[in-house]
Amino acid sequence: MDPSSRASDALRAENVRRACTTSRTQRAYRSYRHGIAAWIRESKADADRYFEPGGEIDISMFTPKDFEAFLLAKMNATEKKLKVTTLSGYRSAVKDIYRQKKLPLPAAYMDDMKTFFAGLKRIEAERNQGSAGEAKMAGEMALPYSVYERVCKQMLVLNDGGFAHLFLTVQWNLMCRSQSVETIHTGHMSNEDDSIGFVFHKSKANQDGAYWACYPRQGTGPLFPGSLQRNRPSYPPTNPTESRDYSASS
């Protein structure tokens, strides 16, 4: 092997640290910070001092109190109030700046900020409870087993076969973990009674491994088409025998 090739493949400390967040998460953080930067320019008379020469937010000037003011501005917005779950993304993006610069996180971003967000969640819940109509639910809603069972039976009655059963089961169990599904190897599979077991060594919340099982009736190949992990489960379950190019939409 070429020595220069071995050198290029060698792990570096900065690459290891960067690997703790996916490229998608890094893009999301940049988007969140762009939103904070826009608020600074709109609300601060001396906005330039909040930015470094390269345009990045200067965390020595943008204090936790400034961040609290930003959160309150978003919660008090009349045209579009952001969900607290979205505001948590801004908090993670600010924390990422400290991580990148290898600086200790100020105490104000720890317990005090947790208390602040707990209050925001309670206020959001009270607003939703008191508003007219049904508030839009944030996050993933549980699928009752009775509904799941009824849908599966209807698919079988419609003679949609094992593909429909497999698609519903795997899509619901794995949600947006389709990238892990795409890279399954035979060594990840095992015979578990009347099912096939899959072991995933990497997931968002648990990177030590997770176990899933389903009743398979589909041939080899990716269970979900396309290359963009987040969007792939959203493609409709068309006839599995048809060939379709999803590269343009990924």
* Tens digit of each residue's pLDDT (9 = 90 or more) over 106-121: 999 988 899 999 998 8
What's the CA dihedral at 88, 93, 94, 98 to 10 degrees?
A: 130
The single-letter code of the amino acid at 231 is: N
Residue 80 has pLDDT above 90, yes or no: no
Residues 22-27 have a mean pLDDT of 83
β-partners of residue 212 are: 198
Please give the pLDDT value at position 223.
Answer: 45
Query: Residue 200: in which H helix or E strand, if any?
Result: strand 195-200
Q: Which residues contact residue 229 at a Cβ distance below 8 angstroms, ignoring those fewer than 6 apart?
A: 24, 176, 177, 178, 179
Strands 210-214 and 189-192: unpaired
Residue 221 has pLDDT above 70, yes or no: no
- How much of the chain exceeds pLDDT 90, in percent? 24
For residue 45 the two structure tokens come to 């008379």
DSSP 3-state of 144 = coil
Please give the pLDDT value at position 222.
Answer: 45
Please give the pLDDT value at position 224.
Answer: 46
Edge-to-edge, what's the strand order for the sheet holding 189-192? 189-192, 195-200, 210-214
The whole-model pTM stands at 0.53
Residue written as token pair 């095992």:
190
Contact of 22 with 203, CB cutoff 8 Å: no
Contact of 94 with 117, CB cutoff 8 Å: no
Instruction: Kindly state the DSSP code that residue 143 receives in the 8-state scheme.
Output: -
Number of continuous H segments (helices) and E segments (strands) in the chain: 9, 3
Return the percent helix, strand and coil in the chain, to nearest 5: 55, 5, 40
End-to-end CA distance of the chain: 35
In degrees rounded to 5, what are phi and psi of residue 206?
Answer: -140, 105
In degrees rounded to 5, what are phi and psi of residue 73?
Answer: -60, -40
Contact of 177 with 210, CB cutoff 8 Å: no
For residue 183 the two structure tokens come to 């890279």
Residue 29 has pLDDT above 70, yes or no: yes
2 band by pLDDT with thresholds 50, 70 and 90 = low
